[in-house]
Structures are given as C-alpha cells and as structure tokens.
Chain A
Amino acid sequence: GNSVTQMEGPVTLSEEAFLTINCTYTATGYPSLFWYVQYPGEGLQLLLKATKADDKGSNKGFEATYRKETTSFHLEKGSVQVSDSAVYFCALSALYSGAGSYQLTFGKGTKLSVIP
C-alpha cells in the first residue's frame, strides 16, 4: 500500500535559519505529492503540491521538488520566520478507485518551532 515517511520532530530553529523537512514515499503508479500545514488552532491548509516527477511546488517561500528516482519530496525554506511555526504534513494522493476521487495518505507530521 501507499505510505509516507517524514522526519520526526519537533524541529526548533532560530529565525532566518534554513529549513529542511525530509519526506519519502512509497506508492504504486504516479501519485501527486503535497505538503499541508497546520497552524496552531487552525485546520490543515495546502501549502504546495507537485503532480509529476521533477515538478517543483512553491508557496510562501517554501519549496519541494518531486524526485521520482529517490521517491522524495523534501520541504525547504531558505529563511524561516516565527510565523512559520506550525505542524507540517507530507502527503501523497492516489486515485481512489471506489469513488473515482483521490485519497490522501499522510505522514505523521513534523512540528516546527521558530524562535526569535
């Protein structure tokens, strides 16, 4: 079956530090890959996505590249801010044959804390 493995947290960084959160996946076929973010007290939001190999998703200074050869989708940001403190979830989407819609498989989430 499909699975997503992301680095364990929590991750604590100083403001303006470089961020990498590793994510690798196992899937049949060609899934789409996502990063979701959950800010304190809020629901999950889509941060970025990539739908095919070598695609790069980007948003709010975050980037992730769909690497089929290494089955990875690592999240990076060059300079984190305190407002980036949140839990980040890597996910993959595969077609859910029963309903003709897509089913997400999530990683465990990585909590990021950015200190001033």
Chain B
Amino acid sequence: GAVVSQHPSRVICKSGTSVKIECRSLDFQATTMFWYRQFPKQSLMLMATSNEGSKATYEQGVEKDKFLINHASLTLSTLTVTSAHPEDSSFYICSARDLRWDNSPLHFGNGTRLTVT
C-alpha cells in the first residue's frame, strides 16, 4: 500500500541551528502534503499545507520564517526548523494523499522527534 517515509525519526540539535525534516511519498504522487506538530498531551495541530510548485499555506500562529516548507516535487516535501530553540522541541508528522484515488485516506509518516538543547 501507499507509504509515506519521514526522515529523520529522531534528531537532537543545539539551540540556534537549523534542522531539515523530509517527507516522501514512496509509491504515489501528492500535490499536497500536510505538516502537523504534536506537543505532549496535546492534539495534533496542523502547521501548514505544502503545495507542490507553490508557496505553502500556513495556519494562524505558525511563523513562516521559522518553519520553512519546500515542496519541490510530487513526492517530496521538506520542513526546515530554522534557528531552533528548546520550545521548538516537539513531534512533527507529515501526511499525504494518493492522487490516484478520489477517496484516498491520508497516509502519515512515522514522525520526527525533535529535541533542541
């Protein structure tokens, strides 16, 4: 079945550095991918919608310059956390839908646990 690969699964970085998270659809194409963030004991919160070939659409309260999203191809979207700070530590998950099927569910990556020290 459709698989979404997210990499890395865990990353620890120092405050002030940038981290890039990749989301790939392995056997299907996705013009739209979604990026979510989950704080402990909180809901999954939609951060932004990544659109292939155009700018991402960010949810209210999400800093565009902080969370850079690039969707350069139909199978790859990247989220870069720039100048990371400890409060950015969280669990980030991407998802995508298989364009071949009208009623396809969203497929999720396994998530990336980011820890900023």
Contacts and interface: CB of A to CB of B under 8 A. Distances in A.
A43 B4 contact: yes
A108 B39 CA distance: 10
Nearest to B99: A101
A4 interface: yes
Interface in B82-101: 93, 95, 97
A42 interface: yes
Interface stretch (B12-20, B62-70, B73-81, B108-116): B108-116
A43 B6 contact: yes
Given A44-B93, A106-B44, A109-B43, A96 B108 contact: no
Contacts of A104: 34, 44, 46, 95, 106
A95 interface: no
Nearest to B42: A108
A4 B43 contact: yes
Contacts of B41: 108
26 contacts: A4-B43, A34-B105, A36-B108, A41-B110, A42-B110, A43-B108, A43-B111, A45-B108, A46-B105, A89-B44, A96-B49, A98-B49, A99-B51, A99-B57, A101-B32, A101-B49, A101-B97, A102-B97, A102-B106, A103-B46, A103-B49, A104-B44, A104-B106, A105-B46, A106-B36, A106-B45
Interface of B: 4, 6, 32, 34, 36, 41-46, 49, 51, 57, 93, 95, 97, 105-106, 108-111
